[in-house]
Amino acid sequence: MLVNEKWEGPIVDQHMHLDKANRFLSAAEEFSRSGGTGIFLVHKPSFSTKLPKNIGDYREAYQETVRMASIVRKKIGLDVQVVLGPHPVTWDIQANAIGVDESTELHISAVGLALDMIEEGDAICLGEVGRPHYKVSDDRWERANDMLLEIMGMASSSDIPIQLHVEDNGHQTCMELADMCDKAGLPRRRAVRHFASSDISDKNTSGLPVTISMGKGSIEGICSTMELSKSNWGMETDFLDDPKRPGAVLGPKTIPKRTNQLCQALKSLEWEDEKIEQCILNIHEKWISSTYF
């Protein structure tokens, strides 16, 4: 609820990475102290050290993410939902080293392992899966899309939601993803486009739920398009917990800060408190439940 025009209720960062070798608990604590109540902890690939070479390496990496989630719950008191899956950039890097066929085989096996762990209760979502967000050869792009279609089919068969790592090509990206979901039999409402822009209009999202990268200007973008949206949407930082890339993404305080800024912005648009409260509850509670559970 709103208390003295400040939100007191659930605040969830729907895409965050943590690293035991870096800030880890201090980052989670900073989020909590700022008013955050829950995070989606996403498996973080080890791009700077070593990538998994076999399914055993993936199992250990996934289990480490699950262990970190347990520690954050116990030490900080946050609600932590785990997202497990192989990153598409890992696939592309490994394709250069071991060939596309072998890299694809390992990637699909890693998806299968993640789905098994989700079904066992270790996590709630497959991700971040997708395709490279940068330019690759036409052949590599075709293989990436074929693989993503197969992954969507696997998620559909298991009735498990996915978080998507993709390029930013305006409305074209979500339009293509929505078409792929339909072909794979994956309900669009279960395919979350992560690191999305603040244009949440149906024209831009093609009916996919999105988690918005809440940088500067995001509140204005949301306010100008939210009446044109019928899909679920949420907030994220994509915090990397990587001291070598401090400005690459947003910090742990961001989502609590932006949540209150959105409350203020909606107030300035003459929204009643009850309507504002329902909007924030949708973002941080209701829409999360209907997308992931």
pLDDT of residue 48: 58
Question: Which structure tokens are listed for 83?
Answer: 């997202």
Question: Closest Cα to residue 117, out of 76, 41, 62?
Answer: 62
Provide the whole-model pTM.
0.96
pLDDT of residue 247: 65
pLDDT of residue 47: 62
Cβ atoms within 10 Å of 156's Cβ, excluding its own: 17
DSSP string, the chain: -EETTEE-S--EEEEE---TTSSTHHHHHHHHHTT--EEEEE----TTS----SHHHHHHHHHHHHHHHHHHHHHH--EEEEEE---HHHHHHHHHHH-HHHHHHHHHHHHHHHHHHHHTTS-SEEEEEE--SS---HHHHHHHHHHHHHHHHHHHHHT--EEEE---BTHHHHHHHHHHHHHHT--GGGEEEEEE-S---HHHHTT--EEEE--TTHHHHHHHHGGG--S-EEEE--B---TT-TTSS--TTHHHHHHHHHHHHHHHTT--HHHHHHHHHIIIIIHHHHHH-
Q: Quick one: how far is CA 224 from the chain centroid? A: 23
| Mean pLDDT on 106-117 | 99
Residue 139 confidence (pLDDT) above 90: yes
Residues 15 and 195: beta-carbon distance below 8 Å: yes
- CA dist., res. 226 & res. 204, Å (int): 11
* Domain parsing of the chain, residue ranges: 9-292
pLDDT tier, 113 (very low <50, low <70, confident <90, very high otherwise): very high
| Mean pLDDT on 27-47 | 95
Instruction: Give per-residue pLDDT as tens, 16-27.
Output: 999 999 999 999
Which CATH architecture group holds 9-292? Alpha-Beta Barrel (3.20)
| Mean pLDDT on 34-44 | 98
| Mean pLDDT on 224-230 | 97
Residue 102 confidence (pLDDT) above 70: yes
pLDDT of residue 278: 98
pLDDT tier, 50 (very low <50, low <70, confident <90, very high otherwise): confident
Question: Judging by beta carbons within 10 Å of its beta carbon (0-12, 13-18, 19+), is residue 51 exposed, middle or buried?
Answer: buried
pLDDT of residue 46: 78
Instruction: Give per-residue pLDDT as tens, 245-275.
Output: 776 779 999 999 999 999 999 999 999 999 9
